[in-house]
Amino acid sequence: MMKDIFKLALPVILCVFATACSNNKNQKEMNSQKSGLTEIFPKGEKGSGETFTGNAYHIGLVDADSILTTVVGNVYFEPGARSNWHSHPAGQILIITDGVGYHQIEGKPVEIIKKGSVVKCPPNVRHWHGASAEVGLQQLFIVPNIEKGIVNWNEAVSDQQYKGTR
Amino acid sequence: MMKDIFKLALPVILCVFATACSNNKNQKEMNSQKSGLTEIFPKGEKGSGETFTGNAYHIGLVDADSILTTVVGNVYFEPGARSNWHSHPAGQILIITDGVGYHQIEGKPVEIIKKGSVVKCPPNVRHWHGASAEVGLQQLFIVPNIEKGIVNWNEAVSDQQYKGTR
């Protein structure tokens, strides 16, 4: 009788064990998909508290030169992180490659940006960009015609401005 | 006796079934990871046979204008697909966001490009780019200073050139 019970129980134990392992693996994948961004580039350096609020990491991909006259880089914003207000003498293009965030041109409503979004910011217009409060943001920035200048940094974006409440 | 055999067999059947389902799901994920690229942008239109070999799909992200003077777009190359030889009057930047492929400046060896790679091609230099034979390529292109022109298309890349054998 005990032998029969063991014969019966063994496959059940194995089955529960196999299913538990499988579920654990799937859970890990789900957590990764939920919280992590698909990183394309190395994270780079942490952005200075003088130009960013929260945890932002940036890396240069194309440095300034006199031939292409274009600077390209990547920024990872952790949830809640954002740039200070700033402007670009020749404007800026943002290409969002993962996550969800916000972009605002001064005097206009906050706009939601996400994977696949493209932002064109005109020259000498103050704007800021960053992650949503819940999900991070991965974005490429392109600064054209750098002979006119690259960026002029201004003050931090307040919590009220970030929340779009003023 | 038959009842005992059924009691013994049922959990084994369930276990085999559960494991088979789990393996099938994992296999699908592996296949997706192996063959598929993480698409960031809509695929867009199929590239013309006059400028591409194989299946390439391109979409414009930033159109030509007189303010940013920069054109940005995305190209998905299926395995084996590549552009014709071509040049840009003001040069070009490529940002590889997924997959594996090749880039060649005329007279130089074929270079391997992959997720995270950045290519700077000087003005008026003939080059081509495309996917590897086995894995597709997803790439952004940035054409600066378009007041000088955007692109001049030339002849197709031969199989021998593609394979780097001449």
pLDDT-based confidence at residue B166 (cuts at 50, 70, 90): low
Does position B44 have pLDDT exceeding 70, yes or no? yes
For chain A positions 26-45, those within 8 Å of chain B (CB to CB) are: 29, 38, 40-42
Q: ipTM, 2 decimals?
A: 0.80
Beta bridge partners of B77: B56, B137
**Chain A residues with beta carbon closer than 8 angstroms to that of B61:** 95, 118
If you average pLDDT over residues B108-125, what whole number do you get? 97
- Kindly tell me the number of DSSP H helices and DSSP E strands found in chain B: 2, 12
How far is residue B77's CA from residue B102's CA, in Å, rounded to a whole number? 11
- Rounded to the nearest 5°, which phi and psi values hold at B163? -80, 0
How far is residue A87's CA from residue A147's CA, in Å, rounded to a whole number? 15
Residue-wise pLDDT for A28-87, tens only, equals 344 334 447 889 999 999 999 999 999 999 999 999 999 999 999 999 999 999 999 999
Q: How many Cβ contacts (< 8 angstroms) between chains A and B?
A: 96
Cα(first)–Cα(last) distance of chain A, in Å?
Answer: 76
Average pLDDT over chain B, rounded to whole?
Answer: 86
Residue-wise pLDDT for A125-152, tens only, equals 999 999 999 999 999 999 999 999 999 9
Q: What local confidence, expressed as pLDDT, does residue B165 receive?
A: 63
Which residues, 6 or more positions from A50, have their beta carbon under 8 angstroms from its beta carbon? A84, A153
- The reported pTM is 0.80
Contact status of B90 with chain A (Cβ, < 8 Å)? yes
**Chain A residues with beta carbon closer than 8 angstroms to that of B98:** 40
